[in-house]
Structure 1
Amino acid sequence: MMLSVQDLRVSFARAHGPAVEVVHGISFDLEKGETLGIVGESGSGKSVLSLATMGLLPRTAKVSGKILLDGQDILPLPERDMCALRGRKIGMIFQEPMTALNPAMRVGAQIAEGLILNKGLSKSAARAESLRLLEMVKIPRAPERIDSFPHEMSGGQRQRVGIAIALALQPELLIADEPTTALDVTVQAEILDILDDLVTDLGISLILISHDLGVIGRIADRTLVMYRGDPVEQGETEQILRRPTQDYTRKLISAMPRRVRNSLGVQHA
């Protein structure tokens, strides 16, 4: 088992009054080479769950339960040990690439930075590997774009750079937090195809987070539906889409455009 999350609870301290629990007893398993979709509306706890897995929550957060990565509970690990895991074992694609990328650095240098610091590559070797990664994520004219600044690229290209950075240290698990937000339908499909190909070609595990069940339905093997921090429904994606058992899941399916439901072979819930 690549990842096993068991009874994960997250609460945040408040200046006045008791702490507020925002994730309530989430459990799921993720096999190597498998894609898990986590879906729910804004405020359902999806991103908090992903940040807890990465150990990136603020100090005001209290996390309990277990997060087993290759059988090791990483929840109690000190920050120094978590730093060693991030990038190497777990990579993350953040929701908004324009804020995740450094606007003052060329994109090639941002990819190369981790390779130099963590793998000890020379600048020339890191640049060559950065170019390979840009080509892997299908950046057009990669040899020219490697020296571009983020603002000189489109939203879809910036998201591809974010994927390249996440893949640079060859993690075994990739967490993609709303990777298609604010992208048009065509670019959205291209990003999802890239992620799906990476799972197949590299054998990595993927957690795909989205508020859109149509996005999840394209590539996820299994799906976890969340609502206000609670696990609503979990199972094979095809089963969730075609035979939902919970009203909230049916409402998410009903919110999908008809053409998306038709493309996934889903009847109106």
Structure 2
Amino acid sequence: MGNSEGAAADFLRFLEAGRNYSPNTIKGYGRDIRQFIVFNKGIEADSGRIRKYIEALSLKKTSKNSIARKIAALRGFYRFLVRRKTAGFNPFSGILTPKRDKRLPDFLTEKETDVLLSAASGADFISLRDRAMLELVYSTGIRVNELVTLNLKNIDFINEEIKVLGKGNKERVIPAGTAALDILRAYVKELRKAGDPGPLFINKRGGRLTTRFVELMIKKYAAAAGIVKKVTPHTLRHSFATHLLDRGADLRSVQELLGHANLSTTQIYTHLSIQKLKKEYNNAHPRAKKQG
């Protein structure tokens, strides 16, 4: 079991070093791999053991999405072992992933978004920083991991765009809105008083912020704004995509902005706004409105 744990730790370090996975994803992969190793009593596995593992997960009422994630984590782990010649083959290569349940992401209305962004008011360094982060995530739709890895040099105020490093170390350039850039300018002015720290968003000690810090920060401002629903950095990302599509943006353009590899990932946002659907229906269907 010791060698198994060591191999798992090596794989997680490999992900941290060069694959640009978020800390939360890496932690989740670690849990998934350790869970299977315990069930399997080691690394060596075959399709029969894997089927029993999946059956055991199903009996525990594990969701299809969670099972799919576990299989993806383990497939990547064994691929890593094969490349390292620690394993002779990948037992997960022929395992079918269960079809994921389509879960509609939560999003804020435009009014709720305005209230949330306004909750971070003030001209001090912390208030400016927090408001700049909120505005930037909503203005660009970037992931929380992309936000905290931004450096000052990634902001182009002249061309009104930012450069981010997304999943798989893929760079993309995204336009930023006036509201976000205005608050960013005010924040950067304060930031530069202490020199150029490198990271765009820093804590009181000058260190780079963590994704967990941003999650707690957004939760705090959502509570202050009186928003009852759960609000996370991804909620703002979902709101960004939903509001763009509601106002007529092209689906492929939104795909590029979000950094989605597949259009099917972006298409889920076309199902989100029931209010928009009702409006379209009422305007277009000849018998939608009550007859006089």
Task: Say which structure, 1 or 2, has more relative contact order (CA 8 Å, 6+ apart).
Answer: 1
The structure whose Rg is larger is 2
Greater fraction strand: 1
Relative to the length of structure 2, the TM-score reads 0.26
Name the structure with the higher helix share: 2
